[in-house]
Amino acid sequence: MSVRRPRATLAAGLLTSTVMAGLLTAAPAHAVVGTATKEGSYAFTAKLDIGGGERSCTAALVEQQWLVTAASCFADNPEQGFTVAAGAPKLKTVATIGRTDLTRDGGTTANVVELVPRTDRDMVMAKLDKRVTDIAPVNLGLSAPQQGEDVFISGYGRAKDEWVPDRLHYAKFGVGAVKDTTVGLDGKADNAVVCQGDTGAPAFRDVGGRYELVGVNSRSWQGGCFGNEDEKRKGAVDTRADDIAGWIQSVSSRTLLERANWKNAKHLASGYFTGGSAGGKRRMDLFVVWADGSASLYQGADHNDPKYPFSAEHKIANAGSYWKDARAVTGGSFTSSGSDGITVRWASGKLSTYTHVDQNGVHDEKALAYSDTWKRARLITAGRYTANALRDDLLVLWDDGSTSMYSDTDTNGVRKESQLTNADKGWQNAAQISSGEFTGKKTADLVIRWNDGDTTVFPGVDTAGYHGRTRIRPVDSAWKNGQVLTVGAFAANIRPNDILIRWNDGNVSYYPGVDAEGTHGEVQLVG
């Protein structure tokens, strides 16, 4: 669902808290005083009904099944602190997400079934009992707010002249004092105020139409809010989210992979598709083609928890799409852009590459080859097998057991072929191939899982062929139960690479830091 940029002026107050003994203290709020939002704007904002009308707060959707809000919304006595127990909330909590006008239908309603609090600040993650698939979550801001920076707050709290507003409101605020866990905010207009009911409301920056979460509301003076007209102070204090974005990701990642039926994962391809790079922090993304023809992109995480290597799922194609005709898929780059794309061998014999892949799909398809010959390409993988530091090479295993490498490949097509092996019945037993960096050689290594469970690394493959082999799994090993594998940086953005496998029972795991000595432990992702 698209969102629209707000108008520059603000009309009503935002989040709510209560003033005790001259100090700001947290208490569940009702709505942001400011301008009523246009339909569909800031759809990631959620209204929380806690205890059947006993309390009201605001939250933000950060993943399809997770909200972030203020812990004080769930505390036994919010005026005395924000401590809240992990687990199911004590009071029934219903979240309404993406409904600008609460008197209308639309958006999604879900129950909050689990709370995961922070102990060092007024923040809690709230798990929903179902996924929200038609609303884009707010992006996590990774940079600290700067004094004087403009941010927006959207909330369902009490307004200037409404006790319980029916519409989402928003307002613009300026960043004041930035501390270790909090950030002070001041309204940019007289009617920009955080009111009761806005506790937990998201503060976010607008970066060219991309909204990045800065924090969630914790406390406010509520000056000018309905019922608090005599109070002149209008500042607010938010709990920072930028410095714990990794924690937010790691919590929301817990339900990410288990939601899918991984027995239906037909093709896996890894790469730096969504902005990660070899020199950055983010781990590799995973592109999945499912048996029904749908496709998903799992975005690599920025945090370092090895159990949760992905931070979000983006639906790329629905069931029955053209992806049902994909016969072999690999991640790699045949451009000099620095980011990876997806290369596909189709049932028709067409070989094509999508030079750009992001959360919205695959883009800029280039045909590399189109002939009956390419129907014989049983397995393909892209990797840096030659000295070309800007583009990958394509290695192909044909149906007769021969192998070829296409170097100097770009978006104009495959041209320079080097035959690495002749037809060989033994090589027809190769079940999967993938490219990676395991041995520290100047060129990429090839890993092959054979039908009998034997798994082999061929170090430093180049146009001259193969230069030795290392067995990392013996014949008749459990790896004979693997169905699909890919190589990538999943444990951390480092080398040597990891091998991720989807097993025949639908479980998924990866082996971190595979090298010439073999595998070193297993991280179970699903199952």
Residue 93 has pLDDT above 90, yes or no: yes
Residue 24 has pLDDT above 50, yes or no: no
Q: How many angstroms separate the Cα of 253 from the Cα of each of 227, 260, 312, 313, 480?
A: 41, 13, 7, 10, 29
HSE of 497, CA atoms in CB hemisphere, 13 A: 26
How does pLDDT run across 315-356, given as a tens digit for each residue? 999 999 999 999 999 999 999 888 899 999 999 999 999 999
| More confidently predicted of 12 and 465 | 465
Q: How many angstroms separate the Cα of 488 from the Cα of each of 286, 301, 473?
A: 9, 13, 18
Q: What is the pLDDT of residue 153?
A: 92
**Number of helical (H) and strand (E) elements in the chain, helices listed first:** 1, 38
Q: What is the pLDDT of residue 6?
A: 29
Burial profile 359-373: b = 16 or more Cβ within 10 angstroms, e = fewer = beebeeebebbeeee
- Model confidence band, residue 132 (pLDDT cutoffs 50, 70, 90): very high
Could you tell me if 316 and 296 are in contact, meaning their C-beta atoms sit under 8 angstroms apart?
A: yes
Backbone angles phi, psi at 322, to 5 degrees: -65, -15
Q: What is the pLDDT of residue 214?
A: 97
Of 7-21, 25-39, 178-192, 317-331, the range with the highest mean pLDDT is: 317-331
Structure tokens at 158: 């009490």
H or E stretch including 246? helix 245-252
- Model confidence band, residue 222 (pLDDT cutoffs 50, 70, 90): low
Mean pLDDT for the chain?
Answer: 87
Residue 397 has pLDDT above 80, yes or no: yes
Answer positive or negative: Cα dihedral of 144, 150, 155, 158: positive
Residue 87 has pLDDT above 80, yes or no: yes
Residue 1 has pLDDT above 80, yes or no: no
The residues that bridge with 49 in the sheet, in sequence order, are 56, 94
Question: Counting Cβ atoms within 10 Å, is residue 28 exposed (0-12), middle (13-18) or buried (19+)?
Answer: buried
Which of 143-152, 224-233, 311-320, 490-499 is predicted with the least confidence, judged by mean pLDDT? 224-233
Looking at residue 87, the DSSP 8-state letter turns out to be: B
Domains of the chain: 18-246 (2.40.10.120), 256-526 (2.115.10)
Structure tokens at 195: 């009111």
Q: What is the pLDDT of residue 186?
A: 87
| DSSP one-letter string for 395-435 | EEEETTS-EEEEES-BTTB--EEEEEE---TGGGGEEEEEE
The residues that bridge with 379 in the sheet, in sequence order, are 397
Residue 158 has pLDDT above 70, yes or no: no
Residue 38 amino acid letter: K
Which of 73-77, 202-206, 231-235, 437-441 is predicted with the least confidence, judged by mean pLDDT? 231-235
Q: State percent of the chain over pLDDT 90.
A: 70
Average pLDDT over residues 254-267: 95
Could you tell me if 284 and 368 are in contact, meaning their C-beta atoms sit under 8 angstroms apart?
A: no
Q: How far apart are CA 313 and CA 333, in angstroms?
A: 22
How does pLDDT run across 268-293, given as a tens digit for each residue? 999 999 875 544 568 899 999 999 99
Q: How far apart are CA 247 and CA 96, in angstroms?
A: 24
Residue 26 has pLDDT above 60, yes or no: no
Which of 19-33, 36-50, 138-152, 367-381 is predicted with the least confidence, judged by mean pLDDT? 19-33
Residue 501 amino acid letter: I
- Model confidence band, residue 80 (pLDDT cutoffs 50, 70, 90): confident
The pTM score is 0.84
How far apart, in Å, do the first and last CA atoms of the chain sit?
33
**Order of strands, sheet of 310-317, starting from the edge strand that comes earlier in the sequence:** 265-271, 285-290, 295-300, 310-317
Could you tell me if 406 and 345 are in contact, meaning their C-beta atoms sit under 8 angstroms apart?
A: no
- Compute the residue count for the chain: 527
Q: How far apart are CA 423 and CA 442, in angstroms?
A: 27
Answer positive or negative: Cα dihedral of 23, 237, 156, 12: positive
Q: What is the pLDDT of residue 190?
A: 65
Residue 156, number of CB atoms within 10 A of its CB: 35
- Model confidence band, residue 371 (pLDDT cutoffs 50, 70, 90): very high
Question: Counting Cβ atoms within 10 Å, is residue 207 exposed (0-12), middle (13-18) or buried (19+)?
Answer: exposed
Q: How far apart are CA 135 and CA 189, in angstroms?
A: 30
Q: How far apart are CA 249 and CA 246, in angstroms?
A: 5
Q: How far apart are CA 175 and CA 169, in angstroms?
A: 19
Looking at residue 488, the DSSP 8-state letter turns out to be: E
Could you tell me if 64 and 132 are in contact, meaning their C-beta atoms sit under 8 angstroms apart?
A: yes
Q: What is the pLDDT of residue 5?
A: 26
- Model confidence band, residue 102 (pLDDT cutoffs 50, 70, 90): confident
Residue 19 has pLDDT above 50, yes or no: no
Residue 484 has pLDDT above 70, yes or no: yes
Q: What is the pLDDT of residue 20?
A: 25
Residue 306 amino acid letter: P
Which of 67-81, 145-159, 223-237, 426-440 is predicted with the least confidence, judged by mean pLDDT? 223-237
Which of 12-21, 281-290, 384-393 is predicted with the least confidence, judged by mean pLDDT? 12-21
Q: What is the pLDDT of residue 408?
A: 84
Structure tokens at 82: 């924000």
Q: What is the pLDDT of residue 41?
A: 86
Average pLDDT over residues 388-415: 93
Backbone angles phi, psi at 427, to 5 degrees: -70, -15
H or E stretch including 247? helix 245-252
Residue 357 has pLDDT above 80, yes or no: yes
Three-state SS across 152-206?
EEEECCCCCCCCCCCECEEEEEEEEEECCCEEEEEECCCCCEEEEECCCCEEEEE
Residue 77, number of CB atoms within 10 A of its CB: 10
Among 293, 267, 296, 270, which Cα is nearest to 283's? 270
Average pLDDT over residues 372-390: 92
| More confidently predicted of 493 and 161 | 493
